[in-house]
Amino acid sequence: MRIVPHDQDGGAFFIAVIHKLSLLNENQVIKVRKTENLLSKNRTVKLQEQCQHRIVSEVLDDNKLLDEQTKLSVANQTSKDDNLTEVKMASDVEYSQTESGDRSRRMDKLDYQHKWKGIDPVLFFKDEAVIKNIVSFFGIEESFSLEGHLVTRSTDNARRIYYVSKAVQDILELNIQVGEQIKIASLGVKMFERHRSKDGCSCAYRLSYEGLSLLFPYMRKRILHASPVDFQHLLQYRTINFARFADARFGEEAASMMPGCCVVVLREGNIMPYAVDLKEPMT
């Protein structure tokens, strides 16, 4: 099946479902393992060659720099006393140690980029303090567990947090156990994203519209109910002062809330949750 852009506002992706009809027999398993071992060895050899080439280039550059420093030291030796020479030698030792540490960090970064070239890794989000803060801030019920179901694509200070089901969680854990042989391009539903502005909000993350319909039935805090007129104003204008809402009570409830993300629900007709950032003026 192909999902064309005007159906889902996407990139016209093709979707295929593959069914496994039978288990591999013993000969096929052996053949697959040999192929995997060969590919693994080829990747290791290629990486070693790249690393060796990088090291040789850096060593040559270091040698040129040391030659220039030696020439400069000889030219100035007659005009410097023994104390200055000792200071120069100590400085050279410190410089060499610093360069060695920088080279080691560059090689670690090269290994990491080679492994995940062109795609970010999938990491389980395990910051318990942040998770508890999100649960408390939005009043998420215990029946909707977040622990073990949250993943991110960032190595540190996650900007976006995605929610995955138990089945996907099991697959991710198994993939980690086998050395992350599956490179995952996309998964989960974006549930939270870090605030861009710093308005003194006690929760560092806001709700994402993509995951709002999944999370909203389990929320007990940060919910406002708006009239059709005020709901339309929220959709129409980027910034609204609390006092300018048609429903004075709605404006008062919004003003009494702590700064941060909240959900506004259409009071009449079909329930339509809408996530907004609450501050003065309200946006």
pLDDT at 93: 45
pLDDT at 117: 64
198 shares a domain with 251: no
pLDDT at 186: 84
Whether residue 112 lies inside any domain: the answer is: no
Whether residue 59 lies inside any domain: the answer is: no
Q: Give the number of domains in the chain.
A: 2
The Cα 62–Cα 56 span in angstroms is 10
181 shares a domain with 141: yes
Tokens of 217: 């039935």
Reading across the β-sheet that carries 160-163, which strands appear in turn? 123-124, 150-152, 160-163, 189-194, 205-207
| pTM of structure | 0.59
pLDDT at 163: 96
Whether residue 147 lies inside any domain: the answer is: yes
Query: Does residue 227 contact residue 246 with C-beta atoms inside 8 Å?
Result: yes
pLDDT at 283: 43
Whether residue 194 lies inside any domain: the answer is: yes
Bridge partners of 261, per DSSP, are 277
The Cα 234–Cα 214 span in angstroms is 22
pLDDT at 11: 79
177 shares a domain with 138: yes
The Cα 46–Cα 108 span in angstroms is 16
pLDDT at 134: 95
Query: Does residue 229 contact residue 246 with C-beta atoms inside 8 Å?
Result: yes
pLDDT along the chain (283 residues), means of 10: 81 87 84 82 74 60 62 57 49 52 57 61 90 95 93 85 94 88 87 80 89 92 91 85 87 88 80 64 48
The Cα 217–Cα 260 span in angstroms is 19
175 shares a domain with 260: no
127 shares a domain with 210: yes
pLDDT at 131: 94
The Cα 181–Cα 32 span in angstroms is 14
Whether residue 206 lies inside any domain: the answer is: yes
Q: Which residues of 94-125 are buried (b: 16+ CB within 10 A; e: fewer)?
A: eeeeeeeeeeeeeeeeeeeeeeeeeeebbbeb
198 shares a domain with 143: yes
178 shares a domain with 203: yes
For residue 254, the enclosing domain spans 222-266
Which amino acid belongs to residue 111?
Answer: D
Whether residue 180 lies inside any domain: the answer is: yes
Whether residue 57 lies inside any domain: the answer is: no
Q: Report helix angle 82-115 to 26-77, nearest 10.
A: 160
